[in-house]
Amino acid sequence: MDRKNHPRGTRNSRRERNNHIFSKKIAFVSILSILLIFICGGVYATYAMQHKQDKLNEVEDERQYKQKEVTLLEKIRKSQKLEDLESSEVEKTDGNVQTLIYEPVATDVVPQFQAIKTELTTLIETSKKNSFKEVPIKIVGHMKINKISDQVVGYLPAIDTYTWEQEKGDWSEKTELGKNTVFVNQKTKQPLTLQDIFSNEANMLAVQQVVQQQLLDENSDGNTIIDDVLNLPNLSLDKTAFTYYPDKIKLGLPDNSTGKNEITLSYKDIAGYVNPEFVDFSSIKDALPEPLDPNKKYISLTFDDGPNPETTPRLLDILKEKGVKATFFMLGQNVVKHEALVKRVAEEGHEVASHSYSHPQLTGVDAQRVKDEVQNTDKAIYHAIGKIPTDFRPPYGAVNKDVAAIIRKPIIQWSVDSQDWQSHNAQAIIKRIDDTAYNDTIVLMHDIHPETVDSVSTVIDHLRSDGYEILPSKELLGRKAKPLHMYYGSKDERPVQ
């Protein structure tokens, strides 16, 4: 009986085990389902929270952007209202790019306005083309005002490009300026002219001397172009093309054979000939010597007709011993024979100037002879020291308007004549200067006479004991003597008639 019942018991046990296993599976699946529900719920909740935070961040970013945009536009418009030039706003929006253009209300106050506007339009279009249009961009086009002095204002096109930087949460800024500035005379409301800058033709001729020297200095061998340089046609106030800068000027040159059609000069190199009201004063303030002290007495010693190999070296020794600088008005025919002596004069700090080539009375010869006398001396001195003489003393002091126009140099006359050419006596020379010297005068002497050289040491001692400070003529005249004018002292300047 036990054997017969055993199979049934076995079947029951299996059923129980299967039921138990099934129950465990059900429990496991239930737990797993619950876990999955919790996980999915957690993920969903996290996603929902993150999504909500992203939405909040987007809202905050948008709020911050709007706030910064409003602030930027207020800043731009306030800045434009503060400009001296009243302007009106033209706004355009193309996708993410907003353009604000500011134009003068009265366009006639800005000379060459259309040219500035055209360049401004080009700048704006180039900025649009080169900008990344997926982010907000604001382009502000306007005229930048550059005040050089009370008399000069410059107008140039400018654009400010503002790009929204999402990571920084703010605008980045870049400014671009146009290439062309219109500089305006505030009195006339017209573009600057050379007349404004240099005032007169005499100053323009003085500038031409600087141009000529610079052309020679920039050439590897100035002697190859010296004739072309000396024959450079005159620069003129009304026909010379130029480009103005606050601290320099670019001048177009007349047709010439030097290979140069323009040249740039720093105002500090022509400081004595520019109108300081029309340049950046900082560019010239240290270029001119200090004005002469009104409480002191000044005098200049000048020597004509040399150099002479017998007398000039002895004179140079005396001047060196006394610590005096003088001006030597040399004859070209003597320069070519004694170049080493000319070089010594220059190296020892004296001024080398021109006294013509062969000492004719220039008012009694034809124009070509005057030109030859001047240019041949210029070439001789340049060959000796590498510099063209800037000052000229006409033989016998004879000059008129036509001759001065050919010479194209300041005419340095004299106000005290030592009469050494007449007396040939050292004591007479000393007495003559003692009796006739006065403040702010130029003394005429000749370094070709032994008696003159004999007198110089005592002349210097007497002048100093009388309170004089001895200067070369260029220093006495403040380094601003100009062609077509003649000078007897720093306060005695006369147009050549």
Q: pLDDT tens digit string along 280-307?
A: 999 998 898 889 999 999 999 999 999 9
Residues 451 and 378 in one domain: yes
Flag whether 54 is in a domain. Answer: no
Considering only 11-25, 78-92, 190-204, which range has the smallest mean pLDDT?
Answer: 11-25
202 pLDDT tier (thresholds 50, 70, 90): very high
Which residues belong to the active site?
304, 446
The Cα 492–Cα 476 span in angstroms is: 11
The CATH number for 115's domain is 3.30.565
pLDDT at 133: 76
Q: Compute the distance between CA of residue 426 and CA of residue 314 in angstroms, rounded to an integer.
A: 15
Give dist(CA 272, CA 284) in Å, integer: 9
**Is there a single domain that holds both residue 214 and residue 181?**
no
- Domain count of the fold of the chain: 3
Residues 361 and 453 in one domain: yes
Average pLDDT, the chain: 92
Instruction: Place 227 in a pLDDT band, splitting at 50, 70 and 90.
Output: very high
pLDDT, tens only, 306-364:
999 999 999 999 999 999 999 999 999 999 999 999 999 999 999 999 999 999 999 99
Q: What confidence score (pLDDT) does residue 1 get?
A: 44
Is 290 domain-assigned?
no
> At 131, is the pLDDT very low, low, confident or very high (cuts 50, 70, 90)?
confident
- Mark whether 305 and 324 lie in a shared domain: yes
> How far are the Cα atoms of 119, 157, 381 from residue 179, in angstroms, in the given order?
8, 8, 42
Instruction: Give φ, ψ of 125 to 5 degrees.
Output: -65, -40
Weakest-pLDDT range from 58-62, 165-169, 446-450 = 58-62
49-70 residue pLDDT tens:
665 665 655 677 788 899 999 9
The mean pLDDT value for 123-146 works out to: 91
Do residue 317 and residue 276 come from a single domain?
Answer: no
Residue 221: the pLDDT is 95
Specify whether the CB–CB gap between 409 and 481 falls below 8 A. Answer: no
Residue 372 exposed, middle or buried by CB count within 10 Å (0-12, 13-18, 19+): middle
Q: How many CB atoms lie within 10 A of CB 375?
A: 19
Closest CA to 155 of 126, 186, 128: 186
In a domain? residue 45: no
Judge whether residue 5 has pLDDT over 70.
no
Q: CA 159, 164, 170: angle at the middle one, nearest 5?
A: 105
Residue 295: count other Cβ atoms within 10 Å of its Cβ: 5
Q: Which residues contact 356 (CB under 8 A, 6 or more apart)?
A: 331, 332, 362, 373, 374, 377, 392, 394, 395
Q: Is-contact 331 306, C-beta < 8 A?
A: yes
**How many whole angstroms from its chain centre is CA 213?**
19
CB–CB of 228/211 below 8 Å? Answer: no
Do 158 and 253 fall into the same domain?
no
Residues 265 and 302 in one domain: no
pLDDT number for residue 348: 98
Once rounded to an integer, what is the mean pLDDT over residues 372-393?
A: 98
Considering the domain architecture, whether residues 121 and 178 belong to the same structural domain is answered as yes
Check whether 47 has a pLDDT greater than 50: yes
Of 251, 284, 274, 278, nearest in space to 183 by CA: 278
In whole angstroms, give the CA distance from residue 5 to residue 16. 17
Q: What is the DSSP string of 410-463?
A: -EE--SEE--HHHH--HHHHHHHHHHH--SSEEEEEETT-HHHHHHHHHHHHHH
Phi, psi of 320 (to 5 degrees): -65, -45
The count of other CB atoms within 10 Å of the CB of residue 402 is: 13
pLDDT at 109: 81
pLDDT at position 364:
98
pTM over 0.85: no
Is there a single domain that holds both residue 310 and residue 398? Answer: yes
Do 217 and 237 sit in the same domain of this protein?
A: yes
Residue 3's pLDDT band, with cuts at 50, 70 and 90, is: very low
Domain endpoint, select from 167, 191, 215:
191
Residue 307, preceding peptide bond in cis (omega within 30° of 0) = yes
Classify residue 289: in a domain, yes or no: no
- Burial class for 318, CB neighbours closer than 10 Å (0-12, 13-18, 19+): middle
Residues 371 and 467 in one domain: yes
Give dist(CA 125, CA 122) in Å, integer.
Answer: 5
Establish if 69 belongs to a structural domain: no
| 8 A C-beta contact, residue 174 and residue 103 | no
CA dist., res. 255 & res. 241, Å (int): 12
In a domain, 6, yes or no: no
pLDDT reported for residue 34: 72
Whole-number pLDDT of residue 54: 57
Q: Domain residues for 146?
A: 80-191
CATH number at residue 474: 3.20.20.370
List residues bridging with 492 in a β-sheet: 489
Residue 191 burial (10 A CB sphere; 0-12, 13-18, 19+): middle
What is the predicted pLDDT for the residue at 82?
87
Residue 48 domain-assigned (yes or no): no
Whether 374 and 327 map to the same domain: the answer is yes
Which of 191, 215, 248 is at the close of a domain?
Answer: 191
Q: Is 324 in contact with 301 (CB distance < 8 Å)?
A: yes
Burial of 45 (0-12, 13-18, 19+ CB in 10 A): exposed
End residue of a domain, out of 244, 260, 283:
283
Quote the pLDDT of residue 51. Answer: 59
- Spatial separation of the C-alpha atoms in residues 306 and 485, rounded to whole Å: 24
| Residue 333, in any domain of the structure | yes
